[in-house]
């Protein structure tokens, strides 16, 4: 959902987006890929790439990639980083995105990361994206200028839902559940955050219809 | 060769290294993997990981990954970044290494990057590694402290050869050629830099015996 609303914002900002999907061997990868392709079709995206960084599953420890670990029920009040955390995942994603951007001559990478109202992952904070931008400046060819835009970083899920509706983002094509690929479990962190966002926005979640 | 000498330095520094090999669909990947495993055996390394980031080949443009592009003969005097440059490759490598280090609780990543006497790749400069270190600080769990050590960064190939010999690094097990997997071509940038290093050190390259 966050990526979808981010794409809607990039379109509104006047960009012609290209789409990057990450396979890090997350349990719901196939379902996320379906959503990715549907949203790409919706926006008539020319160029798509699927990046496989499933070594993150070999490295282990996250319940998102290790099938022996159960995805826990949500605990949105906890201050702890949950077991769904995939170590340094977003740096792996951004490194691939930057390689592609440098080749394409793209100037901007949009990422749907959310710092507020999220699960507290360290690689979802704006300070991380700022540091990564400096890494891009130093590690790419002279003259390369790539900014990382995180339009949702300070939004609540409620605000993300509302923004998606205002921009006509195809929320009905999105997928958030960490656990299931058919019917959302309704119990994991990601389902719980999504449900709370729709509820607070006073809107029915279209994927639950 | 640079990675091998770097491993020798890490051992000398008192570390018990684990080894990470990168498959970015480089043309000589199998040969490099053979060298990786031999050097790991030499040092009796407990833990090894092979990370596949072959999406860098899909992204294209480097002669190291695109078989339709010929690996050019060396031009060590050129100021241009050569066509062997793989965009932002080292960030992709370091992102994977950091994920692994965070899981292992490792405090240090050793990288055999060379800024001096190299092909001028932007992601081989110490300023890039400094920026990446800050990215690690902001993007990993609180309390994680991972330093990036680049012991060869300011050395010439001659000095690297000499250091390898002093430390008894198994240089006979290493591979540098960008082009061939049986006999080094002797013509690519990597062969030329290696040959010049051994010549200036006044030593016979053991892989040419």
Q: Give average pLDDT by consecutive 10-residue segment, chain B, 209 residues.
A: 98 96 87 97 94 81 64 70 80 94 94 80 93 96 94 96 98 94 91 95 93
**Side-chain-facing half-sphere of B89: CA atoms under 13 Å:** 25
Superfamily designation of domain B2-208: HUPs (3.40.50.620)
Q: Phi/psi at B137 (nearest 5 deg)?
A: -60, -40
Helix (H, G, I), strand (E, B) or coil at A108: strand
Q: Which of B139, B141, B144, B148 to mutate to test the interface with A (most CBs of A within 10 A)?
A: B139
Mutate to test the interface with A, among B24, B80, B88, B137 (most CBs of A within 10 A): B88
pLDDT of the residue at B92: 94
CA distance B166 to B169: 8
- CA dist B195 to A74, A161, B66, B128, B180, Å? 59, 61, 25, 27, 15
Over the stretch A155-168, which tens digit does the pLDDT of each residue have? 999 999 999 999 99
Here the ipTM equals 0.86
CB-based contact, B145 to chain A, within 8 Å? no
Collapsing DSSP to helix, strand or coil, A20 comes out as: strand
Q: Give me the residues paired with residue A109 across strands.
A: A148
How far is B133 from B151, CA to CA, in rounded Å? 15
B122 with A139: Cβ contact below 8 A: yes
The alpha-carbon radius of gyration of chain B (Å, integer) is 17
| Cβ pair A135, B138 in contact under 8 A | no
Cβ of residue A60 closer than 8 Å to a chain B Cβ: yes
Interface of A with B in 121-140 (CB under 8 A): 122-123, 125, 127-128, 130-132, 134-140
The residue of chain A nearest to residue B55, with distances taken between CA atoms, is A51
Rounded distance, CA B38 to CA A158, Å? 55
Amino acid B169: pLDDT: 98
> What average pLDDT score do residues A32-42 get?
97
Residue B13: half-sphere exposure toward Cβ, Cα within 13 Å: 15
**pLDDT above 90 for A121:** no
> What integer pLDDT is reported at residue A24 of this predicted model?
82
Strand ranges inside chain A, DSSP E: 19-23, 48-52, 108-110, 147-149
d(CA A132, CA B133): 10
Q: Does the pLDDT of residue A65 top 80, yes or no?
A: no
Instruction: Kindly determine whether residue B87 and residue A141, on different chains, have CB atoms separated by under 8 Å.
Output: yes
Share of chain A above pLDDT 90, in %: 67
Q: What is the 3-state secondary structure of chain B?
A: CHHHHHHHHHHHCCCCCCEEEEECCCCCHHHHHHHHHHHHHHCCCCCEEEEECCHHHHHCCCCCCCCCCCCCCCCCCCCCCCCCCCCCHHHHHHHHHHHHHHHHCCCEEECCCCCCCCCCCHHHCHHHHHHHHHHHHHHCCCCCCCEEECCCCCCCHHHHHHHHHHCCCCHHHCCCCCCCCCCCCCCCHHHHHHHHHHHHHCCCCHHHC
pTM for the whole structure: 0.89
Closest of A166, A165, A109, A170 to residue A136, by C-alpha: A109
Neighbour-count burial of B66, counting CB atoms closer than 10 A to its CB (0-12 exposed, 13-18 middle, 19+ buried): middle
Q: Does the structure show a pLDDT above 90 at A32?
A: yes
Quote the percentage of chain A above a pLDDT of 70: 90
Q: What residue of A is the nearest CA neighbor of B80?
A: A141
User: Residue B25 region, left (φ>0) first, then alpha (ψ -120 to 50), else beta?
Assistant: left
Distance of CA A48 to the CA centre of its chain: 16
| pLDDT, mean over chain A | 90
Q: Give the residue on A whose Cα is nearest the Cα of B95.
A: A92
DSSP state of B179: S
**Within 10 A of A104 (CB to CB), how many other CB atoms are there?**
12
Q: Does B86 touch chain A (CB under 8 A)?
A: yes
Tell which wins on pLDDT, A79 or B20: B20
Lowest mean pLDDT among A71-80, A130-139, A170-179: A71-80
CB within 8 Å: B95 and A98: no
Mean pLDDT across A41-55: 91
pLDDT grade for A91, boundaries at 50, 70 and 90: very high
| Mean pLDDT, residues A46-50 taken together | 92
Restricting to A residues 165-184, those with a Cβ less than 8 Å away from any Cβ of B are none
pLDDT tops 90 at residue A84: no
Ranges A24-33, A118-127, B4-13: which has the least confidence: A118-127
Q: How far is CA B45 from the centre of its chain?
A: 17
Listed range (A40-49, A76-85, A101-110) with the worst mean pLDDT: A76-85
pLDDT at residue B205, rounded to an integer: 97
Q: Structural domain boundaries of chain A?
A: 2-208
At A185, is the secondary structure helix, strand, or coil? coil
């Amino acid at each position: 959902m966050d990526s979808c609303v981010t794409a809607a914002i990039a379109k509104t900002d006047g960009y012609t987006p290209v789409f990057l999907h990450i396979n890090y061997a997350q349990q719901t990868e196939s379902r996320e890929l379906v959503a990715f392709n549907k949203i790409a079709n919706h926006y008539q995206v020319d160029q798509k790439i699927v990046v496989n960084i499933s070594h993150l599953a070999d490295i282990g420890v996250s319940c998102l990639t290790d099938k022996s670990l159960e995805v826990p029920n949500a605990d949105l009040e906890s201050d702890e980083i949950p077991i769904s955390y995939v170590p340094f995942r977003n740096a792996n994603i951004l490194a691939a995105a930057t390689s592609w951007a440098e080749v394409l001559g793209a100037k901007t990478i949009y990422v749907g990361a959310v710092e507020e109202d999220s699960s507290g992952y360290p690689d979802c904070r704006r300070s991380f994206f700022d540091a990564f931008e400096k890494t891009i400046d130093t590690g790419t060819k002279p003259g390369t200028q790539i900014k990382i835009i995180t339009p949702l970083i300070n939004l609540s899920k409620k605000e993300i839902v509302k923004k998606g509706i205002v921009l006509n983002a195809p929320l009905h094509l999105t997928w958030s559940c960490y656990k299931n690929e058919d019917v959302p479990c309704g119990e994991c962190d990601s389902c719980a955050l999504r449900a709370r966002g729709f509820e607070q926005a006073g809107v029915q979640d279209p994927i639950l219809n």
